[in-house]
Amino acid sequence: MRFELLRIGGIMNPILTPSLRETTQALIGNLRASEAFVRYQLAQDSLNTDSGARSLLEQLSKTQASLRQKQASGSVTQVELAALRALQEQVHGNRVIMEYAQAQQEAVTFLREINAEISQLLGIDFATFAKRSSCC
């Protein structure tokens, strides 16, 4: 396999050989079919179709944002903190949300393991190297 970099307009662009492109597509397919990603996709689908769970997460997000603003001015009350804690308990008690959070964490852990293996084979930090430039 060959991986080349081509300088175009001052930016280094990767050029994938056909065999590297094929290998990359196989890796993507294997990742998508992995147990961790299948579980994550199923959990995400469950979350997306559960309006109660989505509503709880939206409420939590809005409440947290509001309290962050109030915290900056020092005007957070104990009642507001208690309401946040109660909402957090509801979120933690929601099976769909917790299954999604667990599946997401397992998928992230799996990706980190894959990155470590690829990095070891290449002798570089693959994830850092593979990040896209966000300059433009």
Domain residue spans in the chain?
1-33, 34-121
Strand partners, 6: 13
pLDDT band at 126 (very low <50, low <70, confident <90, very high): confident
The helix/strand count (H/E) of the chain reads as 6, 2
pLDDT band at 3 (very low <50, low <70, confident <90, very high): very low
> Higher model confidence: residue 59 or residue 6?
59
Given a cut of 80, whether residue 12 has pLDDT beyond it is: no
What was the pLDDT predicted at 8?
Answer: 45
Tell me if residue 88 falls in helix, strand or coil.
helix
Superfamily holding 34-121:
YheA/YmcA-like (1.20.1500.10)
Q: What is the mean pLDDT of residues 58-66?
A: 97
Backbone angles phi, psi at 34, to 5 degrees: -65, 155
**pLDDT above 70 as % of the chain:** 83
